[in-house]
Amino acid sequence: MNRHNVLPSTLAALFLGLVALMPIRPAHAQTTTALEMPSPRQGYYLSAGLHAASQFIWKDSDAQGARTSIGNTLRLGEMLTSRFGLGLLIGFTNADTAEDTAFMGGLSLEGQARVWRNLAVHAATGLGFVQLTEKNPINPDDASEGVGGAMYTLGVSYDFFPYRKALSGGLSLSPTLRVHYIPGDALDGLAVFAGLDIIWWTGIPKNQLDLPPDRAF
């Protein structure tokens, strides 16, 4: 992997994502004519996730075995339309064994598409890293080895809403499956996250919803 090519393009993508996430919706509310049907899965979102994680690391193409651990995620962003959203994803996991400790994590620009009801598919790319630390190395100088570069993520989720606001937005519990992959020269890392995201959706204002006249004002 050529990091000199990957890192600038990835940083540029993250910068564009941050610009896209700036609160521009109110400025466009006066000019747009497209209205959305009321739904709880609208507006800005903030998500915290707790997951069972499985790590798979290859050192110089030699598999280091599977490790189980806990994975954590933090997500924030906005649904730009009724089906498509854009946001940031932070994820990390740390696995400890008798021989070593493996840490994986990263920051990504994430897109999502609602494909059916509250079922969504996710794809993300960003910056990630893998670090493998031996507990009893033969040479202490070689105890820790790491790699940083591009990280790629694919996932699927479904939102259940125990609480919904009157028209738009609410609190969802979202079973989620994600696969994170970080390729490198000396180390390659793959992590599978399966767990639950707790998400708060702000919803959108009445003047952006397709409502009958008696409910629009």
Long-range contacts of 160-168 (CB under 8 A, 24+ apart): 160/118, 161/40, 161/118, 164/40, 165/40, 165/203, 167/38, 167/203, 167/206, 167/209, 167/211, 167/215, 168/38, 168/39, 168/40, 168/42, 168/43, 168/201, 168/203, 168/204, 168/209
In eight-state DSSP terms, residue 140 is: G
Q: Where are the domains of the chain?
A: 39-216
Q: How far apart are CA 184 and CA 200, in angstroms?
A: 35
Q: How far apart are CA 94 and CA 67, in angstroms?
A: 9
What is the pTM assigned to this prediction? Answer: 0.81
Per-residue confidence (pLDDT) for residue 11, from 0 to 100: 53
Per-residue confidence (pLDDT) for residue 214, from 0 to 100: 64
Q: How far apart are CA 65 and CA 95, in angstroms?
A: 12
Per-residue confidence (pLDDT) for residue 135, from 0 to 100: 82
Q: How far apart are CA 20 and CA 43, in angstroms?
A: 14
Per-residue confidence (pLDDT) for residue 63, from 0 to 100: 80
CATH of domain 39-216: 2.40.160.20
133 has which bridge partners?
A: 101, 144
Per-residue confidence (pLDDT) for residue 30, from 0 to 100: 46
Per-residue confidence (pLDDT) for residue 98, from 0 to 100: 80
Q: Which residues of the chain have pLDDT under 50?
A: 1-6, 24-32
Q: How far apart are CA 111 and CA 119, in angstroms?
A: 14
Per-residue confidence (pLDDT) for residue 16, from 0 to 100: 56
